[in-house]
Structure 1
Amino acid sequence: MDRRKSLKSILLGSVATGLVAHGCKPKEEAAKEAGAKTYDPVAWRTPYENEIIQEIKEDEDFFNEHQRETMTVLCDLILPPSEQFKGASDADVVSFIAFMAKDSESEAMQTDLKGGLMWLDHKCNTENGVAFKSATEAQQKAILDQIAYYDPEVPESKRPFEVNFFSMVRNLTMTGFYTTKIGIEELGYKGNMPNVWNGVPDDVLEQHGVSYDPEWIAKCVDQSKRNVVAEWDDEGNLIT
């Protein structure tokens, strides 16, 4: 049995143990008792998309408390905060990763995420006698230095499991952070911005024998009012 199958067996065994301990309840009842997160449908998503997101939000958290804390530490090591910039936990990247894992149809992704966290704890316990989240930053970085730099000449399928795990979390961390409001602001991306337009050039107007009405020029090409939303009266006359 390869490492991935071994991890899958361990995880499934853990799930089965949990079901024996807590019993089996209908999904809706269990979610209600656990205080499931609510989701307000939005108009720019299809009803099907809103339904799927609602199911994901209502489902139990992908990570347990220990896993979430460990993943938070890992993500902040990948994208740490500084005096100038925010870090991964400021954007709640772990919740993004949990959402992606639950939304993913890839069972391997879910197994690899939890299996990778198990690997970190096992490695750290072996080398330092503590779980990864409880180790010093120097100890944590010493472990990550062993798995953070893969050889691009080696196919992904032939890389060690832990190397692929770190690569996946690194990609998810960066994606999760830079698709949030604070990440986009950090990039300085302002989105689509209107150009400054001063009207058709005078030589072109003259060529066609036309000119602007001064009243309309003042209303439509006054750059001091470029951010004012146009309004009309009941008779269709431009007010602003």
Structure 2
Amino acid sequence: MDRRKSLQTLILGGAAASTGFVFNACKTENGKTVDDTIAESSEKYFGRTPEELERIEKLNAEQLFNEHELETIGVLSTVILPPKEPHGGPIEAGVPELVEFMGKDIPTMAPTLLGGLMWLDHKCNTEFGTEFKSATLEQQKQICDEICWHDTEIALEKQPLEIQFFYVMRGLTVTGYYTSKVGIADLGYKGNMPNVWDGVPQDVLDQHGVAYDPAWIAKCIDQSTRGDIATWDEKGNLLT
């Protein structure tokens, strides 16, 4: 599941469905297979169907936020999830660009995002005489503290605009960061990797005053020989 689909699932609460069709033999209008089209697309969009590529290019050509709004989104995202060394934060992960894309990809989200950004600046100007992105971190936190929690007894769509806005921004920021290369590196996630279990370390066994039963250990695989190729005799008995 690609990043955009993951976020749609998170926000809309729907489950992504797998069609099970095999596309690599299908032809596009220009006579090329889907695999050919994907191979010719940029690495950023690897794995997309022609229809998805067309939609991505269409959305990328549109503009939802102006420069000031994008900068405000960037500042807010770092208040929500402060950057840390050595991997950086939401800016390095491309969260503002992701928020822009999602606002266009899910049109019903756009009014909440745009209205929330207006509310942030109005609130900050009223309270501190400056726009949100220019306020101090403490001032920004003070404003966010007022809208970061909502009454769970009331449906979110019935909450004030600023509450809905922060809820969406928090979800996009955290999910956007931790589905990015930067965020995955921050988690230290290495994926599936070959591993060898040599048992509980001796110092830990000593610490707890326990030991492995030698008779039981003799029945286990000697991991030091894991690279050896097994051999059998002519009767099929395992030699090594």
| Shorter-chain TM-score tier | 0.5 to 0.7
Q: 2:78 matched to 1:51?
A: no
Q: Deviations over 1:102-150 (max 9, x none)?
A: 122xx32011101100000111111111111111111111111100122
Q: Which runs of 5+ in 1 are unaligned?
A: 1-38, 215-240
Question: 1:211–1:54: structure 2 CA closer, same or farther, 3 Å change rule?
Answer: farther
* Separation in 2, partners of 1:108, 1:102: 9
* Separation in 1, partners of 2:46, 2:78: 34
Aligned residue identity for 1:45: R
Question: 1:52–1:194: structure 2 CA closer, same or farther, 3 Å change rule?
Answer: farther
Question: 1:46–1:85: structure 2 CA closer, same or farther, 3 Å change rule?
Answer: closer
Contact preservation (8 Å) 2:65, 2:100: yes
- In structure 1, the partner of 2:129 is 129
* Separation in 1, partners of 2:154, 2:229: 59
* Separation in 2, partners of 1:201, 1:80: 51
Report the TM-score when normalising by structure 1: 0.62
Q: Secondary structure at the match of 1:86?
A: coil
Aligned residue identity for 2:54: E
Question: 1:199–1:85: structure 2 CA closer, same or farther, 3 Å change rule?
Answer: closer
Contact preservation (8 Å) 2:115, 2:161: no
Q: 1:70 aligns with which of 72, 77, 87?
A: 72
Higher helix fraction (1 or 2) = 1
Question: 1:199–1:54: structure 2 CA closer, same or farther, 3 Å change rule?
Answer: same
Contact preservation (8 Å) 2:80, 2:170: yes
Q: Secondary structure at the match of 1:80?
A: coil
Instruction: Report the alpha carbon displacement of residue 83 of structure 1 after superposing the two structures with TM.
Output: 4.0
**RMSD value, Cα:** 2.9
Aligned residue identity for 2:115: G
Q: Secondary structure at the match of 2:185?
A: helix
Q: Which runs of 5+ in 2 are unaligned?
A: 1-40, 197-222
Question: 1:114–1:211: structure 2 CA closer, same or farther, 3 Å change rule?
Answer: same
**What percentage of aligned pairs have identical amino acids?**
49
Report the TM-score when normalising by structure 2: 0.62
Map 1:94-113 → 2, pairs under 5 A: 94-104=96-106, 107-113=107-113
Contact preservation (8 Å) 2:99, 2:172: yes
Q: 2:195 matched to 1:192?
A: no
Q: Deviations over 1:164-221 (max 9, x none)?
A: 110100000011101111101111111232456948997xx78x82659x9xxxxxxx
- In structure 1, the partner of 2:95 is 93
Aligned residue identity for 1:73: V
* Separation in 2, partners of 1:43, 1:94: 21
